[in-house]
Structure 1
Amino acid sequence: MKLNVKLLTGLILSHLVNEVIGSDSGIDEDNSIDADSNSIGNAIVEQQLNVEQVYNSEKDDSSSVEILNEINDIAEDLIEIVDEGDHTENETTKIQEKSRPIQFYSDFGKFHNEEYLEIKPLKGNNVLFSFNFAVNSTTELYPEQDSTLHYDVFSKSLGSIMSSTNTRELHLRFGHGWYDAEFNGKLANNGETSGGTGVELWASIESQDKEKAKQEWKKLANYLSGMFCASFNFIDSSISSYPVNLFRHDHSLLENISLKDSLFDIRSALPREPVCTENLTPFLKLLPTKGKAGISTLLSGNKVFNAEWSSMSVDVVTHCTDYENCQYIMTQTINLILNVPKILERNEMPIPKPIPGSKLRCDTSKVFDAYNCFPLPPSAESHYDLIDLFGKVIEGGSLIASSPSKVCIDVDLNNYQIEFLTLAPVFTYKSEGKICMILESDAEYNIRLNTNDSGQVENVESPPIFASRSLSGFSQDNGGFRLDVYNPSDEDMDLIIFETLPWFVRLYLHSMTLTLTSEANQILKICQVNDPLISDYIKEIVYNPAIDREAPTHFELLVKLPAHTKMKLSFDFDKAMLLYAEYPPDANHGFELEPAIFALIDKDTRKVNYIMRTTTSLLTLPTPDFSMPYNVIIFTATVMSVLFGSLFNLMIKKTVTEEEFEKVAAQSFISKIKAKIFGIFNC
């Protein structure tokens, strides 16, 4: 007869639970698996989770360790029997009689891959979803030309790009939408995985000198342009900067070896780049599951980019213990904020239509009839699940991983109810105040959240700083901008302000003015750049002026911001004239300036504790009349055609009288033929 694998595994797991766990571990000995029960398949996974709990709690027990180490041996025997096809009941009995435990065969621990999803309700019926993935692979720092590298679950294409361009660190950011820090609170992962609007790229390249590093940088940008379907190929020296304090490589990753050449840190950004599904698809292809299993099955372009705000990041670093033992460590993250009422409304009405009168929520305490309705505020009740928000469920956990996939929900259990909707046994636990669920099977997982008061959100942590940037002035040839930053804490802060402006924005550093105000908007101090007191607040200035069409304006400020204080930095700049061909097709729209970056650093180590980006700024430049050349061409061509026609007729034609014309016309060949034809008919 055909071997029932679930039955066989259930019998052996039953023996394992009674042999290893017993009643001393909080599990009833009578909770064995009946071979004739229809629910044996579901009981297997439940018993497996119990075994793992006991194993984790009794790692010091040598007897338990020895028994659990025999699991793989029994798994191999089971696989051999399954591969043989048909078997007898005696073979099943032999396996059952072995007094050794077994658990499900899986690849957990074989591949270096992890994934984690965090769900966090925010104010205003918004929900934050943070998808986190981590993959690493072994490599060599200086492989030979004809050597073969094995990447395991790491992307071979990305590994080849980094190897061919001598890139030791690579960081990508894709941003879409606007993040409201006052409303949504602190950025996920302290802003380390969040980007500004558009795309951002920085890397550490090993090279002999700066010129060769530029060549490798250009090559890297072209490779990534094709890989991620983005406009990285437009990156050149005119928009590339060399960071000094921020976006530097991690020295601790390569501290055990001596590099052959120097490392050059280069950064660039494209704030006009639209982020869409074309960028998400290559992102998913980097994952071992390719978006077909695990938490990545929720990700689809029509949902991710319909979010209020979304950010994608790819970070790859090289960690070496020696030249032949190195690792590519890649972390991928997608953070997005979804507005629940908007998504539910879009699900109900994909094509926007007026709300039917029967569904209007009117304030009956005011004038209310067939023609008047004062709407009530949105309902505080909220009920939604993954299908409502993403149109799909999680298609099981990732089986190619070092540990099972997990989903954590950061909510107040006094206000929210969580339902785990799945056919598989659910294993949950608490971690740092969050409710987490382990995805160990290939079953479908759905999560539903219910609350009667969605406005009561207590777990939203306020960001440590608030910052913004704005433009001033209305002239066509000059202007200014201001940077505002607020410290709401009780301690002084050290900040790094990082700014890169295009070459046609000619910044005047001597025009910098610093203004300190209290929380009550009372002016405390105003300092000019040449004022000695300004050194109390600006500790360091890194400034690289722009070079026309060759390098951007780049400056970094190390600022000390007092507690409960607002700081305003203002600058003046001139607008350079561009060549006709340097304007984009929509020149009247303006030019996007990449976001300013504010980083909160540790006072001693200068390690970044929190980083944020402002929104992009729209700069208008004097725009030429692009229609003028076409008007001139059309007018000139018209005049020339009229004059040419008249002159041409005068040059090749002769003026004769009417009598001469008739005489000549009568002698023409055509006239003679006509005369003969008319003569025939007249006869």
Structure 2
Amino acid sequence: MWFHGAVRAAMAVMAAGVVSGASSYTEDLTIRPLPHVSKVAAHFSFELTTSTNGSTHFDVFPKSIRQVIQKYGVDELHLTFTSGLWRHAQWGSVLGNGPYGVSLQATLQDPSQWTGLTQQLAGLISASLNKLDASTVYPLQSSPSTLHGMLPREELCTENLSPWIKLLPCRAHAGLGGWIRPLAVLDSDFLSMALHVSNEVDASGQRQLRLRQTLTVVRRVKSDWTLASLLDISTSSVCPVAQSSLVTTELFTADASSLRAGASVLYVSSTDDSIYHHVMPLESITSSLSQPWLTSAALAPLPQAYFVSGHRYLTGFGQIQGGIGLRLANTHPTDTIRVSYHESMPWYLKVYFSTVKISVNGEEVDPLTVLHIVPSVQDHPYELSFQVDIAPQSQVLMAYSFDKAFLPMGLHPPDANRGFDVPAASWTAQGTTLFTEPLLVPLPTPDFSMPYNVIVLTSTVVAMSFGIIINALLRHERKTNNLTWLLQKIGAVLSKVTKKDKID
């Protein structure tokens, strides 16, 4: 008990410092029921801002993050861990999203600091970010000082989530951070964890650091689900450092009785007039964790958020040649939508850009008039991008071929027969960026048993040769005494006499 009391006392002191200082901290949880698929999406958002003008004092802003930003001259940083694919046709507008695996994008004053930044973040988040080297990283075309890299094979687990939670002012002891249970979070159909940092100048000319941490989960629930069953929690407390701790429920009705937890403040969504945000402070729902969160009146159908869908897939067969196909479809009945598409390909897939075929709205077009291609140079990834206007009820189709490189044995992962992961592609439409599925490409693999066979054969030959040589050098004919010699001679004479008698 004394430990929890000390924690609350320390938080109170920190809260007093925040109120009097230049830092601010807010936290928010957005809950989106998806009754038609028996799921619920929960989006945690924690935002912390602090001034950096000539100050070396740290109050609630993470010291480790601030030191990394200042040491490597980072103006902006976006780090996401994503497991799964956001099904926008079923789940609506994106709450938190990223390409499958790990994605890191950073704007640096000196791009040569990228290696140091990735190594520092790798130790901070306990991830293999040091693998983001020249073979996976490329600069953005619009901003050469902004580098972007992806690791589609990196998985999100508790060793990444735990240091992420420790960056929160109250960690998992109080506030909405106390509602994050690693076991419940990892048991989700979709999981995305993000860290966004910006070193910016506000309207008054003061430089400030802004840290925004987000966590998005989509979990299966029963019809009478509660907050306790959704997040696997039993208690709740308010973080004293936070200026506001809000729980927002997205519904398609303005009726406040849809929430059984109690009264709420109603807002209309800025992106969709049919969505109503029912906002409640955290301290008012601490006793409602075990009560059903919604009534049957709140189970309205989800409107369609985006009208452009994308799908990328592998073509061909075998371990020598292959190809990739793409389909972008506009399902809107009347509107033409502009779509920007981008993908990066690893250097070991030798793309034949002369084989690119693309059709827009049912008509084949010259790829040279549409595509922007950045070839691979010195093991850097390829880049392919285009921007087109897709007519209503139409689609864009693209396909091309590639050869699979023969890699040295040392460049293969331990489970080389699984294949190599190709990062997800992205498309931007209606002001939102969405991602395709990652691809798994099998490459020609050497006979990994051959070194073992050579070692076994060589060891056997050497052992046998060594044994023969030692035997020849150390083995001598056994010496006999005179009595034994005499007995041998007598035996020989007797055998001759016996044979002669038999002949006669």
Give the superposition deviation at 1:473.
Answer: 0.9
What is the aligned partner in structure 1 of residue 170 from structure 2?
289
Helix, strand or coil for the counterpart of 1:647?
A: helix
Alignment of 1:218-297 (within 5 A): 218-245=115-142, 264-297=145-178
Structure 1 residues 394, 168: CA separation in 2 closer, same or farther (over 3 Å shift)? farther
Instruction: Select which of 151, 156, 160 maps to 2:67.
Output: 160
Cα distance in structure 1, aligned partners of 2:483 and 2:116: 76
Q: Residues of 2 paired with 1:477 and 1:525: CA distance?
A: 31
Q: How does 1:39-54 map to 2 (within 5 A)?
A: none
TM-aligned CA distance change 1:660 to 1:161, over 3 Å: farther
Q: 1:558-579 CA distances to partner (integer Å, 9 max, x unpaired)?
A: 2322222111111111111111
Structure 1 contact 415–451 (Cα < 8 Å) conserved: no
Contact 1:139–1:324 under 8 Å retained in 2: no
Matched with 1:406 is: 246
1:316-341 superposed Cα distances (whole Å, 9 cap, x missing partner)? 11222599820111211111100114
Distance 1:323 1:579, change over 3 A: farther
Contact preservation (8 Å) 2:350, 2:403: yes
| Within-5 A mapping of 1:332-481 | 332-341=213-222, 382-393=223-234, 395-402=236-243, 404-412=244-252, 417-420=258-261, 428-432=264-268, 433-440=276-283, 443=286, 446=289, 448-451=292-295, 457-481=300-324
The answer to whether structure 1 residue 562 and structure 2 residue 391 are counterparts is yes
Rounded Cα–Cα distance in structure 1 between residues aligned with 2:98 and 2:416? 26
Partner of 1:61: none
CA shift at 1:594, angstroms? 1.0
- After TM superposition, the structure 1 = structure 2 runs for residues 635-654 of structure 1, keeping only pairs within 5 Å, are 635-654=457-476
Q: Which amino acid aligns with 1:199?
A: V
Deviation at 1:226, TM superposition (A): 0.5
* Aligned twin of 1:175: 82
- Whether the 8 Å contact between 2:258 and 2:297 is mirrored in structure 1 is no
CA contact (8 A) 1:200 1:268 kept: yes
Shift of 1:661: 12
> 1:497·1:558 contact (CA, 8 Å) conserved in 2?
yes
Judging changes above 3 Å, is the alpha-carbon distance between structure 1 residues 573 and 460 closer, same or farther for their aligned structure 2 residues? same
C-alpha distance 163-621 of structure 1, shift in aligned 2 (>3 A): same
Partners in 2 of 1:638 and 1:452 — Cα distance?
76
1:125 partner letter: S
2:491 corresponds to: none
Q: 2:25 aligns with which of 108, 113, 119?
A: 113
- CA distance in 2 between partners of 1:327 and 1:571 (Å): 46
Change (3 A) 1:323 1:501: farther
Q: Distance in 2 between matches of 1:109 and 1:304?
A: 35
Contact 2:192 2:216 in 1 (8 A): yes
Answer yes or no: is the 8 Å Cα contact 1:515–1:569 preserved in 2. yes
Alpha-carbon distance in structure 1 between the residues aligned to 2:356 and 2:482:
89
Aligned residue number for residue 82 of structure 1: none
Aligned mates of 1:661, 1:399 — CA distance in 2 = 108
Q: For residues 186 and 280 of structure 2, what CA distance do their matches in structure 1 show?
A: 26
- Structure-2 change in CA distance of 1:655 and 1:495 (3 Å): same
Q: 1:527 aligns with which of 326, 344, 365?
A: 365
Alpha-carbon contact 1:109-1:401 (below 8 Å) kept? no
Q: What is the distance in 1 between the residues matched to 2:335 and 2:133?
A: 41
Following the alignment from structure 2 to structure 1, what is the Cα–Cα distance between the partners of residues 482 and 248?
104
CA contact (8 A) 1:238 1:551 kept: yes
Structure ID, larger Rg: 1
Q: State the secondary structure of the residue aligned to 2:172.
A: coil
What amino acid maps onto 2:168 in structure 1?
Answer: L
Identify if the C-alpha distance between structure 1 residues 416 and 576 changes in structure 2 by more than 3 Å, giving closer, same or farther. Answer: farther
CA deviations 1:272-318 (Å, max 9, x no partner) are: 11101111112112222212222221111101111000111111112
- Distance in structure 2 (CA, Å) of the matches to 1:487 and 1:443: 44
2: CA distance, partners of 1:450 / 1:198 = 34
Relative to structure 1, is the Cα distance of residues 406 and 644 closer, same or farther in structure 2, using a 3 angstrom cutoff?
Answer: same
Query: Which amino acid counterpart does residue 91 of structure 2 have in structure 1?
Result: N
Give the whole-Å Cα distance in 1 for the aligned partners of 2:395 and 2:145.
35
Residue of structure 2 equivalent to 1:186:
93
Confirm or deny that 1:200 pairs with 2:88. Answer: no
> Is residue 129 from structure 1 mapped to residue 71 from structure 2 by the alignment?
no
Structure 1: runs of 5 or more not aligned:
1-104, 208-212, 249-262, 342-381, 421-425, 518-523, 602-608, 664-683
Q: 1:450: how far off? A: 4.3
Q: Does 1:139 align with 2:52?
A: yes
Greater mean deviation of Cα atoms: 580-589 or 553-562: 553-562
* AA matched with 2:436: T
- Matched AA of 1:507: V
- The Cα of 1:228 is off from its aligned counterpart by 0.4
Structure 1 residue 441 displacement after superposition: 7.0
Normalising by structure 2, we get a TM-score of 0.84
Q: 2-side partners of 1:201 and 1:107: how far apart?
A: 30
Superposed counterparts of 1:78-89, under 5 Å: none
3-state DSSP of counterpart to 1:327? strand
**1:478-557 equivalences in 2 (<5 Å):** 478-489=321-332, 490-516=334-360, 524-529=362-367, 535=369, 538=370, 541-548=371-378, 550-557=379-386
Offset of 1:412 from its aligned partner?
4.3
User: What amino acid maps onto 2:182 in structure 1?
Assistant: G
Q: CA deviation at 1:119?
A: 0.8
**Amino acid across the alignment from 1:572:** S
Aligned-residue offset at 1:181: 2.7
Q: Deviations over 1:23-58 (max 9, x none)?
A: xxxxxxxxxxxxxxxxxxxxxxxxxxxxxxxxxxxx
Question: In the TM superposition, what whole-angstrom CA distance separates every residue of 1:200-221 from its partner, at most 9, and x where no partner exists?
Answer: 10100002xxxxx22x100000
Does structure 2 retain, via aligned residues, the 8 Å contact 1:506–1:553? no
Q: Distance in 2 between matches of 1:276 and 1:177?
A: 13
Identity in percent = 26
Q: Is the 8 A contact 1:239 1:502 kept in 2?
A: yes
Contact 1:396 1:442 in 2 (8 A): no
Distance 2:85 2:31 in 1: 19
Check conservation: 2:18, 2:59, Cα contact below 8 A: no
Alignment of 1:319-330 (within 5 A): 319-320=200-201, 325-330=206-211
Residues in 2 aligned to 1:662 and 1:528: alpha-carbon distance in whole angstroms: 103
Question: What's 1:94 paired with?
Answer: none
Distance 2:297 2:471 in 1: 89
Residue 391 of structure 1, CA deviation = 1.9
Give the 3 Å change call, closer, same or farther, for CA 109–449 of structure 1 in structure 2: farther
